[in-house]
Amino acid sequence: MGKSAAKHLILIILSVLFIFPMFWMVSTSLKPSIEQLRWPPVWIPNPFDWINYPQAMNFEPFFQYILNTLNYGVLSVIGTIISSSLVAYGFARIDFPEKNVLFVLMLATLMLPFQVTMVPLFILFKTLGWVGSFKPLVVPTFFGSAFNIFLLRQFLMGIPVALSEAAYMDGASEFTIFWRIILPLSKPALATVALFQFIYAWNDFLGPLIYLNDQSLYTVSLGLQTYVSSYGTQWGLLMAASTIATLPIVLLFFLTQRTFIQGISLSGIKG
Amino acid sequence: MKALWTKKAGIITATLAMTVGIANTAWAAEPATHQVTRHDAGVVQLTYWNMWSGIWTKVVQKMVDAFNATHPGIHVTMLSVPSASGEQKLLTSIAAGDAPDVFTEWNPYVAAFAQEHALLNLNQFMVGHYAGLKHWFYPVAAKWGTYQGQMYGMPWTMNTFLLYYNKTIMKQSGLNPADPPRTMAQLWADQAKEWRISKSGVVSQIGFYPSNSWDQYMPMFGVTAQDLFNGSKYTLTNPKAMALTDFMAKYNKYPYAQVSAFEKGLSGALGGSVDPFELGKAGFYVNGMWEIPTIQQFNPHLQYGAVPIPPAPGGFANTSWVNGNYNEIPAGTKHPQQAFEFIAWLSGYDNAAWAAKAYPTGGWIPNSPVITKQPAYQQFLNSDPVQKPFVSVMLNPHDQITPVTPVDMYYEQKETDMQDYVLQGIKTPAAALLHWEQDVNQQLQNTSH
């Protein structure tokens, strides 16, 4: 009983610590300007002042930024799921010469920070005529992502080989096995990959900064920066915009967390 | 086994993906800008980047629109780049050969970019019709944009810094508002009467606190750029710099944490770009001319004035440290001549009358005395007598800038650390200056070619 209480207490304290920035963000977004950075701080505004929300949306075309980011996020999720699952299947379920060497090479690309490949990639996309559009951000996701491939590979390796062998004996092709047996069993892992990729796209700042040359294409991460200027930060507007920008991620997490939990002991072999 | 992925699910997924893709073809193609772009044959298209945001974007866009309207052979498209990591976008573009034709950058970057051969030397264009540009600018304005004797950044909008004083607080503290401080000693004595700190240490009113940049006090202590940099390394531990830092150190008698909390708390009021002086909570404050429209907007009843920052013994009177925004042309631009024409136009050359009307919309100080003398700018100055000294100090030969080196930004970052050490009493002025000097000299060595 004592141990359980101690564990709960620690968890509660950690939860408060982790949730505090979010609480402060929402609280500041609902305060009139005069209260936003007052000391001692006003923890809960009274009354709630909602004016920052419409003002934040009018200060910049924020809804356009959200739409742009949704487009980027959805397309990059589709690309990542399709490409990473195929590659991961190959690494996990098919034996071919030098498979391990190729896998290590693929993992090695994780060691390269984006800043190292930034300029060569920019030159490549500039040559293709893609700079100024979302193509440099979305198209590469259709060619696999090392982290997501690794994650899916590990999951796929946990699916019993007997399932594939049974399908082989029934005359199924490799793609049929992948599409009709392995992929359905991989829902939790795919959901994880999708969530990670969507959050990455939603928060991506450097990619959109470098490749987008028109303000009407800006994403949420770039848009939030417009509330910050060298002449002062519009704290209330920034917090309101940040709250709106965070909502889709929070909603997504609550909608998908069941999927993660469901797949813990998934197995298709019976008897 | 039941296959969960049926053909139907696959078709639906594919259709969704295609729909999203098709719906986004326009979004993936060349984007529409908010202004009509002219793609007529013979019209040179220029891209122009700057790092202003919010209301400042609109002010600058109007200037660009005015240029486009008066130059049918050139069309400028402006992009406002988020200031965070904006230099990263710029340098990536330059490295990849896809830089904008013009960008506006804050002065500390000029030398760093010039050292990396990322900028065009503007002197090559100052011939013929543009030869007059060599003598167009205030001397101090031209200095910031000049590296190793060549101009790489064309001065555009300048900033000077004066001492604002709150007349009401002066009266309440038994001081004569018609006699603002004329010396540093008088400032120290006067401001001491204006502080309001409760017994528990809570600050409710500031007299004066030197929380702004150390550089801004350089002329008042006779510190010149040559004192701070001898051509090959920084020499920050000189007697004049020490005197300036000693002056700052006196203010560590006031509680640093409480003062910082007070200033930051008030700066969040009324939209986040307001400081304690604008709210009537500080007796004396050093700031630029942009303070005036903010006061007019948020606290129009504030009784205040502005005078040049008073000098210390050995310092210069009626001067200012100066900085500003500079227009630069990246190396590799396809239309350097037209780009130069654009930045020369923005600088007011050939169109001083237009500049005299346009600059006040941003609350900016001109880069040239020719613009200052224009009737429209004189009218702007006369509309509020507080504005005049901000511009009149530009002609003082003792106006100062920070040394122009490739590590200007690093210098300024470490300057903030130095000030914090001194104001908190963590280091003595001598130790803080030495630490700063060693730091920036190391960085200078690291970045030298």
DSSP annotation of B108 reads: G
A268 in contact with B, Cβ within 8 Å = yes
DSSP element (H, E) containing A126: helix A114-128
Tokens of B114: 């010039």
Q: What is the pLDDT of residue B215?
A: 95
CATH number for the region A56-265 comes to 1.10.3720.10
**Local confidence band at B1 (pLDDT 50, 70, 90 cut-offs):** very low
Could you tell me whether strands B304-308 and B162-166 are parallel, antiparallel, or unpaired per DSSP bridges? antiparallel
Q: B157-207 pLDDT, tens per residue?
A: 999 999 999 999 999 999 999 999 999 999 999 999 999 998 888 899 999
Flag whether pLDDT at B11 surpasses 70: no
> Quick one: residue B288, left, alpha or beta (phi over 0 = left, psi -120 to 50 = alpha)?
beta
**Residue B160: phi, psi to the nearest 5?**
-120, 165
Using a CB-CB cut-off of 8 Å, the residues of chain A touching B52 are 229
**Local confidence band at B243 (pLDDT 50, 70, 90 cut-offs):** very high
Q: What is the rounded CA–CA span in Å between residue A45 and residue B96?
A: 49
pLDDT tens per residue across all 271 residues of chain A? 678 899 999 999 999 999 988 888 888 888 876 666 555 667 788 778 788 888 888 777 888 999 999 999 999 999 999 999 999 999 999 999 999 999 999 999 988 888 888 889 999 999 999 999 999 999 999 999 999 999 999 999 999 999 888 998 989 899 999 999 999 999 888 988 988 899 899 999 999 999 999 989 999 988 887 776 544 566 777 888 888 888 887 887 777 777 655 544 443 333 3
> Quick one: residue B226, left, alpha or beta (phi over 0 = left, psi -120 to 50 = alpha)?
alpha
**Local confidence band at B56 (pLDDT 50, 70, 90 cut-offs):** confident
Q: Tell which A residues from 25 to 64 touch B, by Cβ distance under 8 Å.
A: 33-34, 36-39, 59
- The arrangement of secondary structure in B44-158+323-386, i.e. its CATH architecture, is 3-Layer(aba) Sandwich (3.40)
Half-sphere exposure of B356 (CA within 13 A, CB side): 17
How confident is the model over B226-235, as a mean pLDDT?
A: 95
How confident is the model over B20-29, as a mean pLDDT?
A: 44
Partner residue opposite A214 with nearest CB, options B51, B79, B88: B79
Flag whether pLDDT at B19 surpasses 80: no
Q: Which range, A244-258, B127-141, B261-275, is most confident?
A: B127-141
Tokens of A70: 């949704």
Q: Which residues have C-beta within 8 Å of that of residue B82, sequence separation ≥ 6?
A: A209, A222, A225, A226, A228, B51, B53
Task: Tell which of B60, B81, B295 to mutate to test the A interface (max A CBs under 10 Å).
Answer: B81
Q: What is the rounded CA–CA span in Å between residue A247 and residue B167?
A: 48
Residue A40: cis peptide before it, omega within 30 degrees of 0: yes
B50: helix, coil or strand?
strand
**Local confidence band at B12 (pLDDT 50, 70, 90 cut-offs):** low
Q: What is the pLDDT of residue B25?
A: 42
Name beta bridge partners: B147. Answer: B150
For chain A, strand residue ranges (E) read 228-229, 232-233
User: How many other CB atoms sit within 10 Å of the CB of residue B412?
Assistant: 17
Q: What is the pLDDT of residue B3?
A: 46
Name beta bridge partners: B301. Answer: none
Q: B415-428 pLDDT, tens per residue?
A: 999 999 999 999 99
Q: What is the pLDDT of residue A52?
A: 82
| Burial grade of A97 (CB within 10 A; 0-12, 13-18, 19 or more) | exposed
A69 in contact with B, Cβ within 8 Å = no
Higher pLDDT, A39 or B251: B251
Tokens of B342: 């654009």
B421 contacts B256 by C-beta, under 8 angstroms: no
What fold does the segment set B162-321+400-447 form as a domain?
Answer: D-Maltodextrin-Binding Protein; domain 2 (3.40.190)
Q: What is the rounded CA–CA span in Å between residue B234 and residue B225?
A: 10
B437: helix, coil or strand?
helix
Q: What is the pLDDT of residue B9?
A: 53
Taking each helix axis from N to C end, the angle separating A235-262 and A187-203, rounded to the nearest 10 degrees, works out to 170
Q: What is the rounded CA–CA span in Å between residue B69 and residue A229?
A: 28
A206 in contact with B, Cβ within 8 Å = yes
Q: What is the rounded CA–CA span in Å between residue A215 and residue B432?
A: 43
Distance from CA of B267 to the nearest CA of A (A): 8
Q: What is the rounded CA–CA span in Å between residue B29 and residue B43?
A: 22
B82 contacts A223 by C-beta, under 8 angstroms: no
Which amino acid makes up residue A72?
Y
DSSP element (H, E) containing B372: helix B369-372
Partner residue opposite A235 with nearest CB, options B86, B97, B268: B268
A127 in contact with B, Cβ within 8 Å = no
B262: helix, coil or strand?
helix
Partner residue opposite B28 with nearest CB, options A33, A133, A183: A133
Give Cα A270 distance to the centre of its chain: 35
Domain boundaries, chain A: 20-50, 56-265
- Lowest average pLDDT, out of B26-35, B277-286, B359-368, B403-412, goes to B26-35
Partner residue opposite A59 with nearest CB, options B4, B52, B54: B54
pTM: 0.80
- Please report the ipTM that was assigned to this predicted complex: 0.73
Q: Which residues have C-beta within 8 Å of that of residue B396, sequence separation ≥ 6?
A: B316, B318, B319, B320
Give Cα B270 distance to the centre of its chain: 22
Using a CB-CB cut-off of 8 Å, the residues of chain A touching B33 are 214-216
Flag whether pLDDT at B18 surpasses 60: no
Domain boundaries, chain B: 44-158+323-386, 162-321+400-447
DSSP annotation of A214 reads: -
Distance from CA of A226 to the nearest CA of B (A): 5
User: How many other CB atoms sit within 10 Å of the CB of residue B95?
Assistant: 17
Dihedral of alpha carbons B77, B80, B86, B89, sign: negative
How confident is the model over B402-420, as a mean pLDDT?
A: 93
A236 contacts A35 by C-beta, under 8 angstroms: no
Q: What is the pLDDT of residue A238?
A: 81
Q: What is the pLDDT of residue A267?
A: 34
B173: helix, coil or strand?
coil
Tokens of B117: 């051969």
Q: What is the rounded CA–CA span in Å between residue A231 and residue A253?
A: 36
Using a CB-CB cut-off of 8 Å, the residues of chain B touching A131 are 98
Using a CB-CB cut-off of 8 Å, the residues of chain B touching A210 are 88-89, 92-93
Q: What is the pLDDT of residue B306?
A: 96
Task: Tell which of A225, A238, A239 to mutate to test the B interface (max B CBs under 10 Å).
Answer: A225
Q: What is the rounded CA–CA span in Å between residue B53 and residue B143?
A: 27
Which amino acid makes up residue B222?
G
Using a CB-CB cut-off of 8 Å, the residues of chain A touching B267 are 37, 232
Answer whether B83 sits within 8 Å of A229, measured CB to CB.
yes
Residue A47: cis peptide before it, omega within 30 degrees of 0: yes
B326 contacts B137 by C-beta, under 8 angstroms: no
Location of structure tokens 């190396």: B331
A60 vs A216, A256, B199, B269, CA distance in Å? Answer: 10, 31, 45, 21
Answer whether A214 sits within 8 Å of B33, measured CB to CB.
yes
Q: What is the rounded CA–CA span in Å between residue B440 and residue B422?
A: 18
Which amino acid makes up residue B373?
K
A89 in contact with B, Cβ within 8 Å = no
